[in-house]
């Protein structure tokens, strides 16, 4: 099987660590996504032809074959560039959306631009999201940095990620999150493309959803608890015992994805909502849609497939799409907007 080349050293180390730890260690949250608390009512007589079930949709003006998002992950090393290429090839072939990882590495070292730009090169037609840490707006980043991130990959929208806990459990994280809402609002007003705000695996509360809606964001990706736990990733990177123990404390922290979707629905009923965090398959994506999401995203799972090959990533997207279609068929539903779940 095709192998990903080993990462370089030096400034690439952090990005390389993230990929290695996510592939080799158990970094799952102690919580579940909460989606196991919901089920579809089985319809033995769906009165549908499976082939007439339609999982396609339009998001930000782009047509998607299925409501699947390959969540923001990587870039910034040769190995990460190869993973972005494989993920983008899979997204292009299957007609689904994709986010790339934080582009800070490329804004600070232009040699890294190709490791992100490869995504658009390999996937000229997909719905593609740029990515920056929102907290960087408190550390010198301006609208110009946001524009450069979008232009670098001809992105359809910019994702600003919120990761206060991840920064707080690192040895020297960027922990000044004060006054950030005002800055996010400024970016929403000035940026030419839509702004999406996401968490990275601890979810969105009603209060945060309300603030983000007031900032004028175009969509929220809840990235709730139940899957990849970034405090666990940081625990494995910790340089000393103090930091390791600090990070380990938070293995059960966060708002499960299912609860997080309901939080956003309650606080901002008209908000476009993406769901991610601990989604296992297309059935989980279908449940998220029934709860009010437009797209369902997976990160860790797609990383594992892309680390093997493009073909493996394509296979996984195809399986995920078919799982959504079979869930729709067996629930007697022809269109995504008709999906409904019951609490178990
Ligand atoms: C290797 C890796 C790198 C990630 N890097 C980023 C990032 O740069 N920006 C971001 O917004 N989220 C990042 N994430 C978080 C994911 O987009 C997602 O929110 C989170 O992993 C929860 O999804 P999961 O449980 O399906 O993995 C990363 C996740 C993984 C696994």
pLDDT digit string, tens, across residues 70-108: 999 999 999 999 999 999 999 999 999 999 999 999 999
Find where tokens 């800055």 sit: 183
The per-residue b/e assignment along 267-301, b for 16 or more CB within 10 angstroms, e otherwise, is bbeebbbbbbbbbbbbbbbbbbbbbbbbbbbbbbb
Per-residue model confidence (pLDDT) at position 176: 98
Helices 282-291 + 257-267 axis angle, to 10: 20
pLDDT band at 10 (very low <50, low <70, confident <90, very high): very low
Torsions phi, psi for 132 (to 5 deg): -140, 155
| Alpha carbon distance 282, 68 (integer Å) | 8
pLDDT digit string, tens, across residues 283-307: 999 999 999 999 999 999 999 999 9
Regarding the beta carbon of 71 and ligand 1, being less than 6 Å apart is answered: yes
Regarding the beta carbon of 120 and ligand 1, being less than 6 Å apart is answered: no
pLDDT digit string, tens, across residues 177-198: 999 999 999 999 999 999 999 9
Regarding the beta carbon of 228 and ligand 1, being less than 6 Å apart is answered: yes
DSSP 128-159: EEEEEEGGGGGTT--HHHHHHHHHHHT-SEEE
Domains and CATH numbers, the chain: 26-343 (3.20.20.70)
Regarding the beta carbon of 19 and ligand 1, being less than 6 Å apart is answered: yes
Please state the pTM of the whole predicted model. 0.96
Question: Residue 249 burial by CB count (10 A; 0-12/13-18/19+): exposed, middle or buried?
Answer: exposed
Regarding the beta carbon of 102 and ligand 1, being less than 6 Å apart is answered: yes
Question: Ligand 1: which atom is nearest the Cα of residue 199?
Answer: 19
pLDDT digit string, tens, across residues 272-282: 999 999 999 99
Regarding the beta carbon of 276 and ligand 1, being less than 6 Å apart is answered: yes
Regarding the beta carbon of 303 and ligand 1, being less than 6 Å apart is answered: yes
Regarding the beta carbon of 136 and ligand 1, being less than 6 Å apart is answered: no
Question: Ligand 1: which atom is nearest the Cα of residue 18?
Answer: 1
pLDDT of 161 over the 60 cut: yes
Per-residue model confidence (pLDDT) at position 12: 75
pLDDT of 61 over the 70 cut: yes
> Could you give the 3-state DSSP secondary structure of residue 20?
helix
pLDDT band at 9 (very low <50, low <70, confident <90, very high): very low
Token reading at 210: 């309300």
pLDDT band at 143 (very low <50, low <70, confident <90, very high): very high
Site to substitute for ligand 1 among 20, 28, 71, most atoms within 8 A of C-beta: 71
Per-residue model confidence (pLDDT) at position 4: 42
pLDDT digit string, tens, across residues 22-59: 999 999 999 999 999 999 999 999 999 999 999 999 99
pLDDT band at 14 (very low <50, low <70, confident <90, very high): confident
pLDDT of 5 over the 80 cut: no
Ligand 1 centre distance from Cα of residue 299 (Å)? 5
Closest Cα to atom 28 of ligand 1: 73
Per-residue model confidence (pLDDT) at position 15: 87
State the average pLDDT for the chain: 96
pLDDT of 1 over the 50 cut: no
Regarding the beta carbon of 300 and ligand 1, being less than 6 Å apart is answered: yes
**What does R_g of the chain's alpha carbons equal in angstroms?**
19
% of the chain exceeding 70 in pLDDT: 97
pLDDT digit string, tens, across residues 195-252: 999 999 999 999 999 999 999 999 999 999 999 999 999 999 999 999 999 999 999 9
């Amino acid at each position: 099987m095709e192998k990903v080349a080993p990462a370089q050293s030096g400034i690439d180390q952090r990005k390389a660590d993230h990929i290695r730890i996510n592939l080799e260690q158990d970094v799952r949250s102690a919580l579940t996504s909460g989606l196991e608390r919901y089920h579809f009512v089985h319809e033995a007589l769906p009165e549908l032809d499976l082939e007439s079930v339609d999982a396609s949709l339009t998001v930000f003006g782009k047509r998607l074959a299925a409501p699947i998002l390959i969540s923001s992950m990587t870039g910034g090393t040769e190995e990460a560039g190869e993973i972005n290429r494989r993920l983008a090839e899979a997204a292009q072939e299957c007609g689904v959306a994709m986010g790339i990882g934080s582009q800070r590495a490329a804004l600070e070292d232009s040699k890294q631009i190709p490791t992100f730009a490869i995504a658009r090169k390999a996937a000229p037609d997909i719905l593609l999201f740029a990515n920056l840490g929102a907290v960087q707006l408190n550390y010198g980043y301006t609208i110009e940095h946001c524009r450069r991130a979008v232009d670098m990959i001809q992105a359809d929208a910019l994702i600003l990620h919120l990761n206060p806990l991840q920064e707080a459990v690192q040895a020297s994280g960027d922990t000044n999150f004060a006054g950030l809402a005002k800055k996010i609002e400024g970016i929403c007003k000035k940026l030419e493309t839509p702004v999406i705000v996401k968490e990275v695996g601890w979810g969105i509360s009603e209060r945060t959803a309300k603030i983000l809606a007031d900032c004028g964001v175009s969509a929220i990706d809840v990235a709730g608890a139940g899957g990849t736990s970034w405090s666990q990733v940081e625990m494995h990177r910790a340089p000393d015992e103090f930091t390791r123990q600090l990070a380990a404390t938070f293995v059960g922290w966060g708002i499960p994805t299912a609860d997080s979707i309901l939080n956003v629905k309650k606080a901002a009923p008209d908000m476009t909502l993406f769901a991610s965090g601990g989604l296992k398959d297309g059935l989980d994506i279908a449940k998220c849609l029934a709860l009010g999401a437009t797209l369902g995203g997976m990160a860790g799972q797609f990383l594992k497939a892309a680390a093997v090959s493009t073909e493996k990533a394509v296979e996984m997207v195809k399986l995920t799409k078919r799982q959504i279609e079979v869930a729709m068929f067996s629930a007697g539903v022809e269109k995504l907007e008709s999906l409904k779940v019951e609490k178990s």
